[in-house]
Amino acid sequence: MARSSVSPGSSARRVLRTVGLSLLALLLAPGGARGDQARSSALSRAERDFLERHWTRPIPPQGQPPGRATEVERSLAPESCGVCHPAQFADWKTSLHAGAMGPGIAGQLVEMARSDPESARECLSCHAPLAEQQSVIAGPKGLVANPRFDPALHRAGLVCAACHVRRHERFGPPRRDGSLVSEAPPARLPHNGATRTPAFLRAEFCSSCHQFPPDGFALNGKLLQNTYAEWRASPAARQGLQCQDCHMPDRRHLWRGIHDPDMVKSGVEISLATDRPRYRLGQSLQATLTITSRRVGHHFPTYVTPRVVIRAELVDGAGQTVTGSVQEQAIAREVTLDLSREVADTRLPAGGRLAVSYRRRIERPDLRLRVTVTVYPDHFYTRFFESLLASGAGAGERQIREALEATRRSRFTLYQRDLPLS
């Protein structure tokens, strides 16, 4: 983990690439919650054993498909899965899982694959985890070319098979009626049927990528990736709500989160109140914006990438901001670009509440109070990509620029209200 400060030149480029890829790996680190799984009394032994086997990283090669398998069944491409599962495929295409090998990580890996192939391979264990997605594999004397490498599958990111296929066998959740076994014999079913387990419906299934182990990378005594632990301490966990209940409603493969305005609006409640309905010149305005994390099952926001900004200001009749009236407050876990220290952590725990007060003397007529809450889902990456480009992004520059523009476009207004004051 790079911890040096960022300065122009080749050393800075190495630091930035290492930090960026490290953060990507941190956010999707394999096997992170196994210690918690072993202590979770709610998990059955069978479910725990399944998860241990299922999330071995890197995922081993699939090997030879069954002799009776059709061409579609032999394929690991998500498009092939979509032949029989069009709804799931359509959802997946819109998801961040489908973008796991987008220009941000792909641009960084161009240089990383040359300078530090082992670290690049580590990143791919989450972003493109199938053995068939790896251009190199471990050999007796180090990394060697992978004869099974599929470049198109590599670019597809976190594909269906990463969760649902092992050695060409299919795995999935119980049927909607709760049954695990089909009445028809496997030989009569597509791809010989599927092994079904309730583990697919458990938060622990997601924790293999969304939780660091207790001795994992931490800043200020707090794990950098701690979403599963945040959920375990939440009202949602006490109510029996799993990650899938919010992020895969009705079993849809959307995984909506901080990038989706409707998803964020459904999780928090925002209200604005003033101490009186109208003000005269010379009186003091006192307003309070309250944000309650009512239905978010982890910290709001989780991770170190997003930033939520509350802005209050006075505006005149022409809609112009009154000089000196702006007040801003962030909800985020702010860390330095080199991940060497935590600057601040103002996030709301699940069920938490934040009240922000705004006080100003009314010295002009026809003023309005404007309060805006803006979400920057990719705040860290905007700054990171800017720094990487400033110091030199190497052969991946075009992709990094594309990723930077995408991070800048991802922001959205969560809440805005104008209150007349006179």
d(CA 88, CA 250): 11
d(CA 11, CA 201): 45
- Write the pLDDT tens digit of every residue in 160-192: 999 999 999 999 999 999 999 887 788 788 888
**Is residue 417 over pLDDT 70?**
yes
Q: What is the pTM of this model?
A: 0.89
Name the residue with higher pLDDT: 208 or 235.
Answer: 235
Mean per-residue pLDDT of the chain = 90
- Write the pLDDT tens digit of every residue in 269-314: 999 999 999 999 999 999 999 999 999 999 999 999 999 999 999 9
Token pair of 374 as six digits: 């803006």
Comparing CA positions, the residue from 239, 262, 205 lying closest to residue 413 is: 262
Classify burial at 145, counting beta carbons within 10 Å of its beta carbon; exposed 0-12, middle 13-18, buried 19 or more: exposed
Q: Give the model's pLDDT for residue 7.
A: 32
Comparing CA positions, the residue from 78, 141, 154 lying closest to residue 113 is: 154
Alpha carbon distance, N-terminus to C-terminus of the chain: 56
For residue 196, the SS3 value is strand
Q: Give the model's pLDDT for residue 186.
A: 81
Mean pLDDT over 217-241 rounds to 96
Mean pLDDT over 101-106 rounds to 96
Say if CB 346 and CB 330 are below 8 A apart: yes
Q: Is the peptide bond before 58 cis (omega within 30 degrees of 0)?
A: yes
Which domains, ranges and CATH numbers included, belong to the chain? 44-201 (no CATH), 261-420 (2.60.40.10)
Q: Give the model's pLDDT for residue 31.
A: 38
Q: Give the model's pLDDT for residue 62.
A: 96
d(CA 43, CA 218): 27
- Write the pLDDT tens digit of every residue in 311-339: 999 999 999 999 999 999 999 999 999 99
For residue 291, the SS3 value is strand
For residue 188, the SS3 value is helix
Question: Which residues touch 7 (CB under 8 Å, ≥6 apart)?
Answer: 391
Instruction: Please name every residue paired with 288 in a beta bridge, in sequence order, or none if there are none.
Output: 273, 357
Q: How many CB atoms lie within 10 A of CB 344?
A: 11
> What share of the chain in percent tops pLDDT 90?
78
Name the residue with higher pLDDT: 245 or 20.
Answer: 245
d(CA 127, CA 209): 10
**Is residue 26 over pLDDT 60?**
no
CA dihedral 136, 123, 159, 39 (to 10 degrees): 120
**Is residue 42 over pLDDT 80?**
no
